[in-house]
A and B are shown apart, each in its own frame.
Chain A
Amino acid sequence: MRGHFLTGLFFMCVVLAALKLFTGGGPLARQKTEISFWNGWTGPDGTAMLEVIRHFNEENPDIEVSMQRMAWDTYYNKLMVSAMSGRGPQVFVIHASTLPRMVRAGYLADVSDLFGSSTGLLPSDFESKVLDQVKFGKKMVGVPLDIHPQGLYCNADQLIAAGLKNPDGTPKPPTNRDEFIDAIKKLQKVGANGDHDVWGFSWTFWRNNFMALIPQFHGRYFDDNGNPDLVNPGNVAALAFMGDLMNHLKLTPPAESNAGWTGFRQKKVAMLFEGVYMVGDLQSLTDFKYFGAPVPQIGSQPGTVGDSHCLCIRSDLNGKEREASERFISYLSKHSLAWARAGQVPARISIRNSPEFKQLQVQYAFSKEVPYMIYPPRTPLLFELIQEIDQAVERVLRGEMTPQAALELANSNVEKAIARDKEENKS
């Protein structure tokens, strides 16, 4: 009986060894350094990134990068939990606005040594405000891959039909407040029963639309001492403009409507503010002529909001995995033009200046906003802050509160969240 058992065990070992040998477990495969790369690019952008990775794997036979993508909603949850248990991916993407939270948790490696002539990642190839996003003290915790500002999307045919065109016949987007309101009025088509067949403009993602207007009115989120300052006059004016356009001038769909992006795709909305990443959604529409332009200057100065995807490395990585991760990040940064085609503005100035990038109409138009674009505030309590901003904007657009009152309530709630956080992290 015992003899049979040992014989069986021996044959099982032989079969397992053979399987290992013939299914990629050979000496060559063992030499490869495997890198897991997580991100939230589940749309066409993810397909573009897969293509970049395929090229990287071909050009770097000693490294095998595998990408795992999941919806942003769940991405950060999984990343946070996996990082906490020390089982996170080697390389991952973090929004610049989310970095403070991850830095406080201690999950990000210092990648300062990645910036230098040896890797080709020169600090001078990035705007200082972009690089500042990944700088925490003396450490650099990531490499900005791209920038995604909010801009103005326009339906070219509808603008031309409404007479909004240049002398050469090309559509002319509005550039300031008066032109903007005039364009909305000319573009809208109202039926006999008062129904809008076409809206000239629609708010889309209210919070982001509001945050795009904040810098135009010299608004801010925190004062110089780090206390919440949502009730400053700039923020109130920006929010008042949004409310007026919807509720007093009646120039946008009402708050209950969700005409926004879907309406634009269906040619029922002629203009709207959205992120550059949405261009990927339009690229598949063959009978739709659209173009991008900077957000019109509604306030006293140009401005918009944007964010960046930053490439980060797990803090406990070293040896071959660290070296392979750094090589992969450098490669992605160098090849960010391919990534930009999916709907992004490259973070590297040299790539933005390339003739190939200038061919990408929407991306190039939105890239002109980078000099005056601002990032969301740097705070570990970003979710708490944007939750309150969301509510304040919604209350104003629904006509339930004045901008002043809504922002006062939001400010008070953010103050409480910060006080609680300080208490919990006082040591």
Chain B
Amino acid sequence: MSSIKSQSRHANLFVVPYGMSFLVFIVCPILFAAALAFTQLDLTSREHLHFVGLDNFREALKDPYFIQATKVTCVYAIMIVPAFVVLSFGLALGLQAMTFGRNAVRGLIFLPGMFNVVVASIIWRWFYDGEFGFFNYLLKRVGIMPIHWLGEKTLALPSIVVMSLWWGLGGATIILLAALQQIPTHLYEAAMIDGATSRRLLTNITIPQMRHVLLFIVVTSTIGAFQVFGQTFMMTNGGPDRSTTGLVQLIYDTAFNKYRLGYAAALSWLLFAMILVVIIVQALLLRRSID
């Protein structure tokens, strides 16, 4: 018995390094940011820090740039999350059905995700270039007028969505493929004996069996969508006319260009609150589907 306790103590020791780093690099900054959100901290001001209560939150709710960035972020999430889930699920189904070359195709789909977001954004910025870009070169070859993918307000955000899908689909597809491979084959065999069509197999067996994983993909891709920054920062720097300035870029500008760290912390907490609401809704859906 004492040997087990001793082993347990030793095992706990192995957790200490991670626990310490979690405390220092995750918990402490969160607590610090929480405190900051109620202060005025301007790096360029001689009075660096003082308590302002809820003023930062009140200012945010009246700030047209915050409202605009919230709209952009929500539109981005609405565009990308369904597309992300449907496409990754479709790709996973396709890969599952493949009998030859599946590993090679899986590798190719996963490959874009290996690029750093900056690298991926620079590549796609060139693809999208209005005058000299790859896509417009192809359009010109077939006699179509060039399109200013990143220069048109209505096209810039959808163009970034397409790039983000290319960049992010691989990971989700691999997860969904793994989940597909876990579905017992006897379920399909029994249904086919009963004369089920392919569509019935998909809707009555595959999707219900995959619901936990699908909801996981929905939740994580939603969180990622709300935190979009690298692509918009590198490809359009929030333009044209702020049509791709999301919340994280607004927070970045507020903290590191305007040096208003207190206000930026408040904006971060508002973003966190939005994500939390979405997660709670999705968690409720998850619980209902399990029940």
User: Residues of A at under 8 Å CB distance from B?
Assistant: 74, 76-77, 80-81, 84, 101-102, 104-106, 195, 253-259, 262-263, 266, 268, 380, 383-384, 387, 391, 394-395, 398, 400, 420, 424-425, 427
Contacts and interface: CB of A to CB of B under 8 A. Distances in A.
Nearest to A262: B132
Contact of B257 (A263, A383, A391, A400): A383
Contact of B259 (A80, A195, A253, A425): A80
B151 A105 contact: no
A258 B152 contact: no
Among all A-B residue pairs, the 5 with the closest Cβ atoms = A256-B151, A256-B148, A77-B256, A105-B44, A101-B44
Interface stretch (B69-77, B181-189, B235-243): B235-243
Contacts, number: 76
Best-buried of B43, B47, B145, B240 by chain A (most CB within 10 Å):
B43
Contacts of B259: 80, 101
B45 A425 contact: yes
A384 B257 CA distance: 9
Contact of A268 (B47, B131, B240, B242): B131
Interface of B: 40, 42-48, 59, 129-132, 145, 148, 150-153, 239-242, 253, 256-259
A69 B46 CA distance: 27
A398 B241 contact: yes
B151 A424 contact: no
Contact of A256 (B43, B47, B59, B240): B240
B130 A257 contact: yes
A384 B263 CA distance: 15
Chain B contact residues, majority secondary structure: loop
A71 to B, nearest CB: 11
A101 B42 CA distance: 11
B151 A266 contact: no
Contacts of B152: 256
B130 A425 contact: no
Contacts of A383: 253, 257-258
Given A258-B151, A425-B45, 20 more contacts: A74-B256, A76-B256, A76-B257, A80-B43, A80-B44, A101-B259, A104-B44, A104-B45, A105-B45, A105-B46, A106-B46, A195-B145, A254-B148, A256-B130, A258-B131, A262-B132, A394-B240, A398-B241, A424-B40, A424-B42
B43 A105 contact: yes
A32 B87 CA distance: 61
A262 B131 contact: yes
B130 A395 contact: no
